[in-house]
Structure 1
């Protein structure tokens, strides 16, 4: 387990002198996350994100846009991102975890059929900083988990891989939609081994659990990529959440080039399941003109933004914020647990 502490200071007046006394603010744990980052476009957020002193940064996918079978091209793009001065400064002070999505996986909307996925996997793990001798290097996929301990509470972060094992999607006959739901029990998003691993992770006790999925879990009516294209996988996910040994579970997602909050009440769960989508960092769906989402809370944000998850460990609540240019709070949501 990793212990993360955040320093702050206050002033004490003693015999006419000002003394700076350092203490530890451990009552909050802050995660910042984002997705959809083209290396040849300006990402205007690194400095602002760093100024918020996060305990963790999560890549939500599409770290680069390398839809290619050419691994040298992909490797060069990762190198370009890693050499970005603003990003270099940011990661000096902030731990990084994350997953990939289709464009850094290597093929648009791609899944298990992608021929270069094994080599692509190693390049992503290189970028994210996984040690060469890590056990995860020898298994398929980029899923991972880490538990942080702070102020006597545990925060578990689970990063899923929704690409490596995902079976083919069914095209839609509706010209307004790309895919239609496949209700067959044969289709999968996580694959047999990752599902087993995921179940084991949720069996472990935690006060707060944050799950990073590159694609949306709850919003399923738009016809693009979503867990909803395989409804039986959604049911399996929700069943695991209801049986999890965690006091609070939150889902994060990206991919869509929009940001929004989705909330669903699950029978047998005494708090709503929230899917916080944040996308994108360098470009967004500026032509957005509306789409259905029965679970949406608030409005869709279709400008560049990133997400902030601030966990109040003392009061068992989570504050979610969509942050735009100049640090503007574009929308926020708070949930008690």
Structure 2
């Protein structure tokens, strides 16, 4: 009888727990994002890219090229054009292009010369080929100005997103080789040394100061916050970094997020800037078809989380009501390799 009573009591207790558990409200799933940004860099059209179907599945509102769309590395304009044409024949990319707006910038390899800048002999011709590939109309004002920088606005009933695409090649001053064998370049602090050039700086100031967007995304082909590794970075021009940070603060622009590529690694960098009411994040996504798989470490005082050295692309889910950006480094088949959330 004693054992029977114990078993009965346990059964009642178990049933009570089950009833209590069954009455708990189901956890509410997060609402769908209002706007989805997909972006990536470092892509060879002749190499397999397993991500295009995954990008399409994310149902993005825009795809942003972060540079090195192709690897031309030549001063032969026809050769550059032919390699861009090869990218357009990639089946997965063709589907994305048919369904999603494509915008973006170039970097050194599609510009035409590794680590190249303002001295590249055919930069004007290369610019026109790039604009052809991006589908920029022949009567666009972009055809008549130097550099490939541009801004794009996306307005929804819930809010507005502005994407500012920079050109870090056309006007960039010379890099200075570092005598330290562990570093390729050292900072250029000469008077007048620039990344963007006077005209682009003036344009950028206006784009930020007059923006009424809820989120302002700035695409720079090279990293802005990570500046200690000695490769290409805005850190090689420290006065330009300070100028940009000051401009962002003074503009009062909401929700500024930096996107970058180039490095063949992906990572998040985050810095607290005096006068800016939210942290400045630099989301680096690189590369699409090849990555720095042997990466063994490098300094970055602004890094959040770990470096992802696998091939990847970037997704940013934007929520207007919550003023939140959900940033994700994405692998194949929808795998989230790392993520960062920020409220603005």
Match of 2:234 in 1: 227
Match of residue 184, structure 2, among 156, 178, 184: 178
Q: Whole-Å Cα distance in 2 between the matches of residues 92 and 221 of structure 1? A: 40
For the pair 1:256 / 2:256, whether they are aligned, the reply is: no
Give distance in 2, aligned partners of 1:137 and 1:154. 26
The CA distance in 2 between the partners of 1:206 and 1:246, in whole Å, is: 8
How far the C-alpha of 1:326 sits from its partner, in A, is 2.1
**Structure 1: how far apart are the matches of 2:318 and 2:34?**
5
1:133 to 129, 135, 139: 139
Aligned length: 313
Aligned residue for 2:114, secondary structure, equals: coil
Residue of structure 2 equivalent to 1:67:
73
Select the residue among 287, 310, 314 that pairs with 2:321.
314
Aligned position for 2:52: 46
Give the alignment's TM-score, normalised by structure 1. 0.91
Q: In the alignment, what sits opposite 2:295?
A: 288
Task: Specify the alignment match of 2:198 in structure 1.
Answer: 192
Unaligned runs of 5+ in 2: 1-30
| Residue number in structure 1 paired with 2:126 | 120
Does the CA-based 8 Å contact 2:177-2:186 persist in structure 1? yes
Contact 1:278 1:306 in 2 (8 A): yes
Does 2:174 align with 1:163? no
Q: Distance in 2 between the 1:247 and 1:157 partners?
A: 12
Deviation at 1:245, TM superposition (A): 3.4
Unmatched runs of 5 consecutive residues or more in structure 1? 1-24
Query: TM-score scaled to structure 2, two decimals?
Result: 0.90
Looking at structure 1, the residues matched to 323 and 304 of structure 2 have their Cα atoms a distance apart, in angstroms, of: 21
Higher strand share: 1
Larger radius of gyration: 2
CA distance in 1, matches of 2:307, 2:229: 13
- Contact kept? 1:26, 1:150, Cα under 8 Å: no
Let me know the Cα RMSD of the aligned residues: 1.0
Residue 277, structure 1, aligned to residue 284, structure 2: yes
Partners of 2:33 and 2:317 within 8 A in 1:
no
Report if the CA contact (8 A) 2:34-2:320 is conserved: yes
Partner Cα separation in structure 2 for residue 210 and residue 159 of structure 1: 8
Work out whether 1:326 is the aligned partner of 2:344. Answer: no
Change (3 A) 1:200 1:26: farther
Q: Choose from 140, 143, 157 the match for 2:149.
A: 143
* Separation in structure 2 between the aligned mates of residue 197 and residue 26 of structure 1, nearest angstrom: 34
Segments ≥4 residues shifted beyond 6 Å: none
Question: CA shift at 1:67, angstroms?
Answer: 0.4
Return the offset for 1:244.
1.8
Question: C-alpha separation between the residues in 1 aligned to 2:236 and 2:276?
Answer: 24
Secondary structure of the corresponding residue to residue 303 of structure 1: coil
Q: Which of the numbers 97, 101, 108 marks the counterpart of 1:91?
A: 97
> CA separation in 1, counterparts of 2:32 and 2:294?
42
